[in-house]
Homo-oligomer: A and B are copies of this chain.
Amino acid sequence: MADIVSLREAVAAHVHDGDTLALEGFTHLIPHAVAHEIIRQQRRHLHLVRMTPDVAYDQLIGSGCVTRLTFSWGGNPGVGSLQRFRDAVENEWPHPLEIEEHSHAGMATRYAAGAAGLPFGILRGYIGTDLPNHTTTIKTVECPFTGEVLAAVPALNPDVGVIHAQRADRHGNVQIWGLLGVQKEAVLASARSIVTVEEIVDELPPVAGAIVLPAWVVSAVCLVPGGAHPSFAMGFSTRDNAFYKAWDPISKDRDAFTAWIDKHVIGTADFAEYRESVGF
């Protein structure tokens, strides 16, 4: 059953050095505040999993929290490269980053298998590409009825699934709407889960397109308004496209990056202070 606690408490209780973490969000509802708290609490040797690692993961990688990344698309959406990710892969800064690379369809299949308690999932994928030559977690399986050969990928079952959502009620039932990405799968596939929300209400009002994750599949719910910034929460905020563009020059330069993290993340006590310091 979900505990409603501060983000500091949730990260301290559920995120440990060496854990496999999935902070999911498909452009929408990216749990940036949790990434910042993980940097503040200086977690190390994390294995990060995500379909679309973007600025939040760039910050975790550049801050030296990450030794391994499993992903399918690592970029700054609509802007270009993920500079800290590139620097880690190309120049091993701040240290080497081991990568496990898939396609979106493969990662989605892996999360779905994880949520469903299956050891693997199947898809029509990867065939004819160079990915299987470099990624050991892509194999094949033969259809016992047609003999067709399909791609097989192992289930993803992170230690901690982390998402940002619009709302929770006081029991910890979580309501999400708009682009849903793989957030439900990430929570259900993980042993533990942290959900930051824009607001906590007495009753979840019906919302078109919304799904509800019952409190008993969530470990911790934290009230963190704006916790997705520069990503957004439909109904509460819009995507801060200017921030994504501004991130490119900051992240291109190691010193500029470090100064930014020191000032806005390490130098702030929590996400509320971060909001003041970056001014949104």
Is there an interface contact between B150 and A154, defined as CB atoms closer than 8 Å?
Answer: no
Comparing A96-104, A203-211, A252-260, the segment that makes contact with chain B is A203-211
Could you give, for residues 106-142 of chain A, a 1 whenever the CB lies within 8 Å of some chain B CB and a 0 otherwise? 0000000000011110111000000000000101111
Closest chain B residue, CB of each to CB of A122: B118
**A residues 203-248 in Cβ contact with B at 8 Å:** 206-210
Is there an interface contact between A124 and B117, defined as CB atoms closer than 8 Å?
Answer: yes
Bound Cα distance from A207 to B146, whole angstroms: 41
Q: Does A148 contact B (CB under 8 A)?
A: yes
Is there an interface contact between A146 and B119, defined as CB atoms closer than 8 Å?
Answer: yes
A105 nearest CB across to chain B (Å): 10
Among B140, B206, B208, contact of A144 (Cβ-Cβ < 8 Å): B140
Grouping DSSP codes into helix (H, G, I), strand (E, B) and loop, the A interface class, with mixed when no group exceeds half, is loop
A206 partner residues in chain B, CB cutoff 8 A: 208-209
A207 partner residues in chain B, CB cutoff 8 A: 208
Bound Cα distance from A148 to B141, whole angstroms: 13
Is there an interface contact between B119 and A145, defined as CB atoms closer than 8 Å?
Answer: yes
A153 nearest CB across to chain B (Å): 9
Q: Does A13 contact B (CB under 8 A)?
A: no
Bound Cα distance from A124 to B119, whole angstroms: 10
Closest chain B residue, CB of each to CB of A205: B208
Is there an interface contact between A118 and B208, defined as CB atoms closer than 8 Å?
Answer: no
Is there an interface contact between A124 and B120, defined as CB atoms closer than 8 Å?
Answer: no
Closest chain B residue, CB of each to CB of A123: B118
Is there an interface contact between A145 and B150, defined as CB atoms closer than 8 Å?
Answer: no
Other CB < 8 Å A-B pairs besides A118-B124, A120-B122, 13 of them? Answer: A119-B145, A119-B150, A120-B144, A122-B122, A139-B145, A141-B141, A143-B152, A144-B152, A145-B152, A145-B154, A206-B208, A208-B208, A208-B210
Could you list which residues of chain A lie within 8 angstroms of chain B, going by C-beta atoms? 117-120, 122-124, 137, 139-146, 148, 150, 152, 154, 206-210
16 contacting pairs across A/B (C-beta < 8 A): A118-B122, A118-B124, A118-B150, A119-B146, A119-B150, A120-B122, A120-B144, A122-B122, A137-B145, A141-B144, A143-B152, A144-B152, A145-B152, A145-B154, A146-B154, A208-B208
